[in-house]
Amino acid sequence: MATRAASRKSVPAPPKSAAETRRILKQLGTQHPNADTELHFSNAYELLVATILSAQCTDERVNQVTPALFRRYPDAHALARATTGELEPQIQSTGFFRAKSRSLLGMATEVVETHGGEVPRTMEGLVALPGVGRKTANVVLGHALGVPGLPVDRHVLRVANRIGIAKSDDPEVVEEQLCAAMPAAAWTRTSDTLILHGRRVCKPRPLCDRCVIRADCEFYAHLTRAQSTRPPRSIARPARPAKPRGRA
């Protein structure tokens, strides 16, 4: 974990202890065995490009776009020579294609000019690239470069807070809380597991009946308490038929 998160002065403690967090993640692993990124890639450059494209887009859609993109631009040198006019039509279906085009070209140019065409292997080097934030950097570090990293996206943020293994709406705080509880070798798998759980089970409208750790989940406990204390609905009595009026 990079020093920017580690240097934070005060991080709130989540409701669950480190031991509980490790046990919960182990149990979640049985529901999502072999959790991994769903983006297709063969090297760090390809994963960096795919992750930039995945912003506000499904991995499935990105995987439909990248094969042709990687054939045309197989490395940072080739991508840096492209223009936005050439790139935008190829990535349009991923959404926000103008901003993504600028990010990709800026990233590739910086990789070529500053790093000799090689994707940097540190958090500091990655987040200095145009269009690359901490989450994207952790994805590349953990999945392509063998450097422990725990990406926190919207799924990780939602699921970790609901379960109680994190307590913050700040992704960097949640990253630090999870990294403190889990061994470094498990950071990337922890993120992948929580992401899959958020996509498949713990959705914005959660499918709690399908969740293997609902007995340990703070959100589920709150939900069941609320349901048990809710007063029963009063049953409306049918209206009595009106009495017939007498003849005039």
Which residues carry out catalysis? 135, 153
CA distances from 135 to 67, 120, 126, 206, 236 (A): 23, 15, 10, 24, 53
| Sign, CA torsion 170/176/178/181 | negative
**Contact present, 142 and 188 (Cβ < 8 Å):** yes
DSSP one-letter string for 58-124: -HHHHHHHHHHHHHH--SHHHHHT--HHHHHHHHGGGS-HHHHHHHHHHHHHHHHHHHTTSPPSSHH
Q: Alpha-carbon dihedral of residues 64, 67, 70, 71, nearest 10 degrees? A: -140
> What long-range pairs does 239-242 form, CB within 8 A, spacing at least 24?
none
